[in-house]
Every structure is written in structure tokens, then in C-alpha cells.
Amino acid sequence: MAFTHVCLWTVLAFALTWTVLYVTNRKKKATELADAAAEERRDGASDVIIVGAGVGGSALAYALAKDGRRVHVIERDMREPERMMGEFMQPGGRFMLSQLGLQDCLDGIDAQKATGMAVYKDGKEAVASFPVDNNNFPYDPSARSFHNGRFVQSLRQKASSLPSVRLEEGTVKSLIEEKGVIKGVTYKNKAGEETTALAPLTVVCDGCYSNLRRSLNDNNAEVLSYQVGYISKNCRLDDPENLHLIMSKPSSIMLYQISSTDVRCGFELFPDNFPSIAKGEMATFAKNTLAPQVPPKLRKIFLKGLDEGAHIKAVPAKRMTATLSNKKGVIVLGDAFNMRHPSVAAGMMVLLSDILILRRLLQPLSNLGDANKVSEVIKSFYSIRKPMSATVNTLGTAFSQVLIASTDEAKEAMRQGCYDYLCSGGFRTSGMMALLGGMNPRPISLIYHLCAITLHSIGHLLSPFPSPIRIWHSLRLFGLATKMLVPHLKAEGVSQMLFPANAAAYRKSYMAASVF
Ligand SMILES: Cc1cc2nc3c(=O)[nH]c(=O)nc-3n(C[C@H](O)[C@H](O)[C@H](O)COP(=O)(O)OP(=O)(O)OC[C@H]3O[C@@H](n4cnc5c(N)ncnc54)[C@H](O)[C@@H]3O)c2cc1C
């Protein structure tokens, strides 16, 4: 009995000593980290490191610096990017830009106003404009198109004009991690030296080819197709205030004015039918197969770039659902975090909306050193962004699918139904354009219009009378619409999209700013 007591007391004494030592050690470690953080602050170190000064990194740097944070942005190439992406800012994106105080970044870059879209199919054409009387949208209902590189430079200049932003040229190699918490990055600076930067919060914003996201989650991007394009120089569209969308075969063609003298010409292709650019086969394909389908009033401009030997580029169109990393002290944003088909030209809009949400959630935190609190903010951010981002992502999937020509009658009926619906005028056109323009990117509106398009297409298939073959195609069309959307909605998370836990409270508190 006495022996048992001795053993018990010994075990208890051990347990107690271990607990005291563990707690003291943790406290010491926490104090050391807090001291190190305080030391870094005294040294003028940063509160936030941002990897990449593209659209997202630059806009975020500006927003956080405006809130008093010291921001260190590391960008691998400070020259003006020459890219074929991010050239069309929807009205919703312009509104977000204005909410961030960055609206003037679209001034002085020869950006062109766009009031809607001219759509062409089988010799017919119609104009679908952004609604001007949308009471839910408190901003000018027009888009802007521009050279992406000029816009990015303008954002970089604006961010680096703030004293608390340090924009440095360097290539980030890896994230520094300590027990599941990201402490900063290692990078190669302009002089070629390997060095490190530490901060309580690291934001990975290194774009669609992100290397760093791989160390944070196992999210994989899916390549859907390729966007091929070139610029026709020294010309002006007859109707430069509309983006011109031609529903051609095998897929759609787009033309839009990106400066007072330059027109972007682009089309979508799939890997199974991809002529070589280097061997000149792509230019031949565009001239022989696509140009005859371009309406005569646009054809000259479409051919101009090809005839003048414009540089043809191809960029993969990717889709990637957003996934949270379980690491602390880090957040991934922009294309490194979430991508959708570019047919809806909305990547920058979603990104700017994300920045606005994140910034507002971080505002109450006086310092970002508490990794647990920041982690909570990031989780809220993830659910608050859902309704808007998932709406745009789903729209991207649906819209890109109906733009692909097919010999399948059911698919073709869907395509025709979409054209008819979008171009019918009245509330259908304004509803769809409000969705596409990011003026009303709400899940319920999306579901309503997608169901309406499906029913409209079925009605088209069944008319003038419902023969057995037409009924069969209608059932297939319904199946196709379901197959197209259900897996996508599942991946986005239907409940988070429709009933996000924190979004209602958030929206209520920021109603004045009308964040969607
Ligand atoms: C074909 C195509 C067309 C599109 N068209 C539109 C459109 O019209 N409208 C629209 O709203 N969206 C469009 N998008 C989407 C849009 O372009 C993106 O959503 C947006 O540019 C993403 O911004 P970002 O800041 O995440 O990435 P980016 O703007 O690509 O910036 C990433 C930055 O990180 C830097 N970087 C990368 N790696 C490192 C590293 N290791 N160290 C340091 N720096 C690094 C890069 O140099 C770059 O400057 C399109 C996309 C595609 C593919």
C-alpha cells in the first residue's frame, strides 16, 4: 500500500514538474517571440510581407499601408509587364477599386470606356449594355479596358508613393516556417544575394504560376483551354465602347479597344486542336478559319494584326477553387488562391473584393503578431468572400461552356438559348449584364438566370411542337446543364455560398459600402 502511495506521488510530482516546466518554457518562448517582434518593429521591420507586386500585391500594399501597416513588397520584375490578361475591368471591379482609393490608377493610362457587349451569332447581332438604373449599384456602370502592364505600373507607383511601403525587386524562393507558422520569406535581391525578410503576416500573391502556394496547400489548377491573342495596332473599332463577342466555331472570338489606338483580338482554343504559333500555323488558322466568321465591319481590324505580323501569344485559362492553408501567419491571394475561366473577365474584380474584405477584417487588429487571431480573421475572410467569388466562378464555368460550339443539338440549343436570353433586352439582358459586370454578383441572381436560360433553351428546342426527338434533346439539355453546374457548385461549397456563417453580419456592418 505504502509502495503504491510512493509511486503515485512520484508520478504526480513528475507530472507537476513537467507541466510547470512546459508552461514556463512556452511563456519564455512567447515572450522571446514578442520581444523579437517588438525589436523588429523598433528596427523598422515590416508588419506584412507581400510576395508579388501584380494587381493584387500592389493594391493590397496600398490598402494596408493606408491603415498604418508597414509593408514590404517583393517583386521579381519591376519592368512594365507585357501580358495578355487582366485588360478588362468590370464596373464592379472599378467600384472595388474606388473603395480602396485606387480609382485614379485607371487615369493616365489611356484606358477605354466600355458600356457593354456587342454579341454576334449566325449573322445576327445585338448589344447588351450594363444596366444604368441598377439601384443596388452605387457607382458609374461602365467598364474600362487597358494595357494590363500600364495598370500594374500605375498601381505599383501609387503603392510605393506611401512612405510605409517598401517595394523591392527580388525573387522569393521559399517561405520560412516554424512549427506551422510562416515567419517570412527567403529571397534573392536585385544584387543576387540570398537574404530573408521576416514579418508577422506573409501574403502570397505571386499569380497564376505561383510556386509558393504548393508549400501551403495541395490545390491544383486545372487547365481548361488556351486564350490566344494579339494586338491590332493603329486602329479603332467603329463601336469602341462595346466589347465585341463573336459566337463563332469552334469557339468564341473577342475584340475590344485597349487603348485609343490598339485593339485586342483574342480567341479560345483547346489542346486537341492547337496550331503551332512558331510555324505560322496559328496565323493561318486565324485568317482562314476564324476571319470569315468575323462580321465584315470588324474583319479588317481582326486581319490587320495578323497581316502586320503581330506577336501572337497563348495563355492557359485555368480554374482553381479556393482552399485555405492550415499554416498560420500566411494568406494566399489572387490567382495563386483562386482562378476561374477568363471568359467573364472578372479575376481582378474578385481579387479587389477579396482585398477589401481582408483589409476591413484586419483593421481592428492593432498588431498582426497574434498568429491565432490572424488565423481567425483569415477563416472569416474565406467564408465572407464565398457568395461573391463563388457566383463569379460559377458564372465563369457556365459562360465558358456555352461559348463552345458543338454538333450536339442539346448543347447547341443551350448556346442559342444563351444568345437569345442575353440579347433579348429588358430585365433578362440587364440581369445578366449586372451579373457579368459584377454589379449584382449574388448567388440567388445567378441561380435564377441560369435556370431561366435552361428553361428558355428547352422552350426553344421544343418549339414549334414537342416531337419525341425534341423531348429527348430537352431532357439531355437539362442533364447537361445539371452536369455542368452541380459538380462546380459542390466544389465551391453550396452551403457556404448560400448561407455563409459570417457574411450576413459582415455585410450588415459594412452596408454603407455595399460590399457584395
Ligand atoms: C487569358 C486571361 C485573361 C484574363 N483577362 C482578365 C480580364 O480581362 N479582366 C479581369 O478582371 N481578369 C482577367 N484575368 C484574370 C486576371 O488577370 C488575374 O486574376 C489577375 O491578374 C491576378 O492578379 P495577381 O496579383 O494574383 O497576379 P499577377 O497580376 O499575375 O501578379 C503576380 C506578380 O507576382 C510576381 N511574382 C511571381 N512569382 C514571384 C516570386 N517568386 N517572387 C517575387 N515576385 C513574384 C510576378 O512577377 C507578378 O508581378 C485574365 C486571366 C487570363 C488567364
Q: Is residue 273 part of a domain?
A: yes
Q: In this structure, are 414 and 436 located in the same domain?
A: yes
Q: Is residue 71 part of a domain?
A: yes
Cα separation, 350 vs 334, whole angstroms:
8
Q: Which atom of ligand 1 is nearest to the CA of 334?
A: 26
Give the residue whose CA is nearest to atom 31 of ligand 1: 54
Q: Is residue 330 part of a domain?
A: yes
Cα separation, 119 vs 126, whole angstroms:
5
Q: In this structure, are 252 and 171 located in the same domain?
A: no
- Please give the distance, rounded to the nearest whole angstrom, from the Cα atom of residue 207 to the centre of ligand 1: 5
How high is the mean pLDDT of the chain? 89
Q: How many domains does the chain have?
A: 3
- Please give the distance, rounded to the nearest whole angstrom, from the Cα atom of residue 55 to the centre of ligand 1: 7
Closest of 409, 430, 458, 448 to residue 133, by C-alpha: 430
Q: In this structure, are 359 and 470 located in the same domain?
A: no
Q: Which residue among 105, 208, 395 is best mutated to probe the pocket of ligand 1, counting the most ligand atoms within 8 A of its Cβ?
A: 208
Pocket of ligand 1 (CB under 6 A): 51-57, 74-77, 84-88, 93, 171-172, 205-207, 227, 315, 317, 334-336, 342, 345-349, 351
- Please give the distance, rounded to the nearest whole angstrom, from the Cα atom of residue 77 to the centre of ligand 1: 13
Q: Is residue 479 part of a domain?
A: yes
- Contact status, residue 402 vs residue 415, Cβ threshold 8 Å: yes
Question: Rounded to 10 degrees, what is the CA torsion of 343, 347, 349, 353?
Answer: 140
CATH code, domain with 158 = 3.50.50.60
Q: In this structure, are 326 and 465 located in the same domain?
A: no
Q: Which atom of ligand 1 is nearest to the CA of 52?
A: 34
Q: Is residue 7 part of a domain?
A: no
Please identify which residue in the block is written with the cell numbers 495598370.
Answer: 151
Q: Which atom of ligand 1 is nearest to the CA of 55?
A: 25
Question: Rounded to 10 degrees, what is the CA torsion of 430, 432, 434, 435?
Answer: 170
Give the residue whose CA is nearest to atom 52 of ligand 1: 85
- Contact status, residue 290 vs residue 248, Cβ threshold 8 Å: yes
DSSP string, 230-299: EEE-S---SSTTEEEEE--SSS-EEEEESSSS-EEEEEEE-GGG---TTTTHHHHHIIIIIGGGS-HHHH
- Please give the distance, rounded to the nearest whole angstrom, from the Cα atom of residue 133 to the centre of ligand 1: 32
Grid cell for residue 189: 535581391
Cα 261 to Cα 81, 235, 242, 269, 457: the distances in Å are: 19, 5, 15, 26, 39
Q: In this structure, are 303 and 237 located in the same domain?
A: yes
Give the residue whose CA is nearest to atom 49 of ligand 1: 54
- Please give the distance, rounded to the nearest whole angstrom, from the Cα atom of residue 326 to the centre of ligand 1: 24
Please give the chain's pLDDT, 516 residues, in tens. 455 555 456 555 555 555 545 545 544 544 444 444 444 444 568 999 999 999 999 999 999 999 999 999 999 999 999 999 999 999 999 999 999 999 999 999 999 999 999 999 999 999 999 999 877 899 999 999 999 999 999 999 999 999 999 999 999 999 999 999 999 999 999 999 999 999 999 999 999 999 999 899 888 899 999 999 999 999 999 999 999 999 999 989 999 999 999 999 999 999 988 999 999 999 999 999 999 999 999 999 999 999 999 999 999 999 999 999 999 999 999 999 999 999 999 999 999 999 999 999 999 998 899 999 999 999 999 989 999 999 999 999 999 988 888 888 889 999 999 999 999 989 999 999 999 999 998 888 999 999 999 999 999 888 888 889 989 999 999 998 888 888 878 888 777 777 765 555 555 554 444 444
Give the tens place of pLDDT for each residue, 284-342: 999 999 999 999 999 999 999 999 999 999 999 999 999 999 999 999 999 999 999 99
Give the tens place of pLDDT for each residue, 421-457: 999 989 999 999 999 999 998 888 999 999 999 999 9
- Please give the distance, rounded to the nearest whole angstrom, from the Cα atom of residue 441 to the centre of ligand 1: 21
Give the residue whose CA is nearest to atom 48 of ligand 1: 54
- Please give the distance, rounded to the nearest whole angstrom, from the Cα atom of residue 362 to the centre of ligand 1: 24
Q: Which atom of ligand 1 is nearest to the CA of 229?
A: 1
Rg from Cα positions in the chain = 26
Q: Is residue 416 part of a domain?
A: yes
Identify whether 250 is preceded by a cis peptide bond (ω within 30 of 0).
Answer: yes
Q: Which residue among 50, 55, 117 is best mutated to probe the pocket of ligand 1, counting the most ligand atoms within 8 A of its Cβ?
A: 55
Exposure letters 109-132 (e unless 16+ CB within 10 A, then b): bebbebbbbbbbbeeeebbbbbbe
Q: Is residue 250 part of a domain?
A: yes
Q: In this structure, are 100 and 197 located in the same domain?
A: yes
Task: Give the pLDDT score at 36.
Answer: 44
Q: In this structure, are 206 and 237 located in the same domain?
A: no
Q: In this structure, are 362 and 214 located in the same domain?
A: yes
Range of the domain at 197: 48-111+146-221+320-369
Q: Is residue 121 part of a domain?
A: no
Q: In this structure, are 404 and 264 located in the same domain?
A: no
Closest of 322, 329, 327, 376 to residue 354, by C-alpha: 322
Q: How many other β-carbons are positioned within 10 Å of the β-carbon of residue 396?
A: 25
CATH code, domain with 303 = 3.30.70
Q: In this structure, are 330 and 270 located in the same domain?
A: no
Q: In this structure, are 234 and 212 located in the same domain?
A: no
Q: In this structure, are 166 and 89 located in the same domain?
A: yes
- Please give the distance, rounded to the nearest whole angstrom, from the Cα atom of residue 50 to the centre of ligand 1: 14
